[in-house]
Amino acid sequence: MPAASKTPGEWIDGFLFVGNHLALEFLNTRPILAEGPKELLPDVDALIRWLVASGMLTTQNGHALAKKWKSSPEAVACLRELLKFRERFRAVVIRQEAGFPVSGVFIAELNSLLKEHPSSVVLQRKGKRLDLEAAFDPEKPNDVWAPIAIAVAELLSDVSPGRLRKCEACIVHFLDTSKKGSRRWCSMNICGNKIKVAAYQQRQRTARNKAR
């Protein structure tokens, strides 16, 4: 399965895609913007739009689901649980970035999610290649767990924790796929420039102080 469903496009339909991995894109649905922390999945409609933006659902299927799940208490409850899980997953990623292993409690939770919501895969032609992709055709809200659980499991098993990183200037996490492993911020547009300007100003201040 691909590490991310799309090449990083930064913002797609109001959602951030700079994580290089679906599990991290899910984590980054609560970024800190200039105006403070922002929940990008405040309601079921937003969750469906995120599934479309991340390439898991077609726009057409997204519209159909939005209609079907509009006033579904099951969908609201599912979103609430997904967001709680997202924050537990955040704690795991932060611990991994600090060099600590994944807790047994989280592994057990993830294993029961994987068992409860198995994923199916489908072979698809991509130009000359064949790609193994997650087959995602949700009917009930809880079906959304399958791609999230498998993405998180993949991240924790396939990715070297040394390549997991938090942006130096905000709470966005990403998988560093750069050759040198030297990526420092979520995106040049969002935080890279901010850091460069701050570093420039610091150099100027130091130079002025030295000149005195």
Footprint on this chain of Zn ion (rule: CB under 5 A): 167, 169-170, 172, 185-186, 191
Minimum CB separation from Zn ion for residue 176, in Å?
A: 13
What does the block give as tokens for 155?
């991240």
For 112, phi then psi, to 5°, come to -75, -30
Closer residue to Zn ion, CB minimum distance, 148 or 172: 172
Minimum CB separation from Zn ion for residue 69, in Å?
A: 32
CB–CB of 2/131 below 8 Å? yes
Closer residue to Zn ion, CB minimum distance, 56 or 191: 191
Closer residue to Zn ion, CB minimum distance, 112 or 178: 178
Minimum CB separation from Zn ion for residue 31, in Å?
A: 8
Residues 38, 149: Cα–Cα separation, whole Å: 23
Minimum CB separation from Zn ion for residue 1, in Å?
A: 26
Minimum CB separation from Zn ion for residue 152, in Å?
A: 21
Residues 15, 151: Cα–Cα separation, whole Å: 18
Minimum CB separation from Zn ion for residue 170, in Å?
A: 3
CB neighbour class for 133 (10 Å; exposed up to 12, middle 13-18, buried from 19): middle
Closer residue to Zn ion, CB minimum distance, 78 or 167: 167
Closer residue to Zn ion, CB minimum distance, 12 or 169: 169
Q: State the DSSP code for 12.
A: E
Which of 12, 11, 27, 41 has the alpha carbon at shortest distance from 175? 27
CB–CB of 134/119 below 8 Å? yes
Closer residue to Zn ion, CB minimum distance, 146 or 170: 170
Residues 140, 89: Cα–Cα separation, whole Å: 23
Cα angle value 40/43/44 (rounded, 5°): 115
Placement of tokens 């105006």 in the chain? 35
